[in-house]
Amino acid sequence: MARVGVYAPALFYSLMIRRTCAGEEKDMSKKQKKHYSGIGGQAVLEGIMMKNEEHYSIAVRKSDGTIAVDIENYRNSVYEKLKKIPFIRGIFSFIDSLILGMRSLNFSAEIYAEEEADDKNTSGSGSSGKGLSDKALTTIVGIVSVVLAVGLFMVLPVYLTGLVADRIRNDSLIAIIEGVIRLAIFLIYIVAISLMKDIRRVYMYHGAEHKCINCIERGRPLTVHNVMRSSRMHKRCGTSFLLFVVLVSIIVFFFIRVDNMALKILIRIALIPVVAGISYELLRFAGRFDNPLTFIISAPGMLLQRLTTREPDESMAEVAIAAVEAVFDWREFLLDEFGYDYTGEDDGPIKDEDGDGFLDEDADTDTDAVADGDDDTDTTDSGSDDSSI
């Protein structure tokens, strides 16, 4: 039950950490995208989900130190038919992110529900059916969290703007104020949930997920040592996607003006798919090319990832590796993409050769993360063609 208490913020946060540009990216030339792996994922409670094509795995660290891994298949037949259509594909990618986010968080919540039930049974205070009640509760909380997200980021800014609208005669200024309020609520939310201990750990697993994918796409063997030295930032991260959603909504809603409060709210809710579709294309474009324009487009999201990711510990890197290896043969990938037949020997430690106080690899990857987004991973690309959290 204690873990279920953080399910709602964790579900919304999962949308930020799912990758949004996978699958189709495999068709890019290597000149456009360096050694793209096609995998993506998201962090969950004490674990990580990784997706590769129609397969996805969820690895969760249990209280006894072992790692529980669940492997499932998921394919959206509707999305498969529409994934080549710009703007439309972004809508279904967003829906996929929500579905897989709920499935992944349900699995991690069930792990802890079972462990809590076992502890209570051991102490003689357990009750049968507790696991079932927790599963039902997490599903209900998941639905409620979606409703609250719409209310918090779409309805509340309209309401708060309405409180001062009578004192302002300039409609353009009113629209700008609404957008600023929406952006402020979004940033405050991210910072506020980071105060929760469980969410801080989700941020760390988010960093581990990014590091793990970046490690692979940089051509390094997937070892704890190599994962830990990889960057925790990525241009295609779902955090960047949601920031695009907020910023695009400001522009779209600026040109749609109605006086009736109820109608204004309904229009904004109805336009969520449109905003998501545009945001997805922007993220896909930014992750596909490296030029001054994509650098500018990606910079805000890359900066925001410094809030939504934290440096993980080695045990979290182990969980990320377990999730990847369940659905992806990274040894074959290194051989095919880099001509590197891994023999089991790890690379040596990274040194500060130039004496600037930073490990050379870390400095390079942080720069690359902003410059070309190939840094290290998490990009809301979860393997679903264009999509993770």
pLDDT digits 0-9 by tens, 176-209: 999 999 999 999 998 888 888 888 899 999 999 9
The backbone region for 126, taken as left when phi is positive above 0, alpha when psi lies in -120 to 50, beta otherwise, is beta
pLDDT score, position 285: 85
3-state secondary structure (DSSP) of residue 339:
coil
What confidence category does residue 9 fall into, taking pLDDT thresholds of 50, 70 and 90?
low
- Condensed to tens digits (0 to 9), the pLDDT of residues 132-160 reads 455 566 667 777 877 888 888 889 999 99
The pairing of strands 47-52 and 19-20 is unpaired
> 274, 252 in Cβ contact below 8 A?
yes
pLDDT score, position 11: 56
Greater confidence, 224 or 354?
224
- pLDDT beyond 80 at 76: no
Is 349 a domain residue?
no
Q: Average per-residue pLDDT in the chain?
A: 77
Is 289 a domain residue?
yes
CA dist 110 and 142 (Å) reads 14
Quote the domain boundaries for residue 290: 3-342+358-380
Is 321 a domain residue?
yes
What residues does 58 pair with on adjacent strands? 49, 70
Is 297 a domain residue?
yes
| φ, ψ at 245 (rounded to 5°) | -60, -45
Is 316 a domain residue?
yes
First-to-last CA distance in the chain? 25
Burial (CB count <10 Å: 0-12, 13-18, 19+), residue 262: exposed
- Condensed to tens digits (0 to 9), the pLDDT of residues 97-109 reads 777 877 887 787 7
Is 23 a domain residue?
yes
Is 347 a domain residue?
no
Alpha helices in 29-170 (DSSP H): 77-82, 88-123, 130-150, 156-165
Distance of CA 303 to the CA centre of its chain: 15
Q: What's the structural domain count of the chain?
A: 1
* pLDDT mean over 218-230: 93
The pairing of strands 67-73 and 19-20 is unpaired
> 302, 203 in Cβ contact below 8 A?
no
Is 348 a domain residue?
no
* pLDDT mean over 54-62: 92
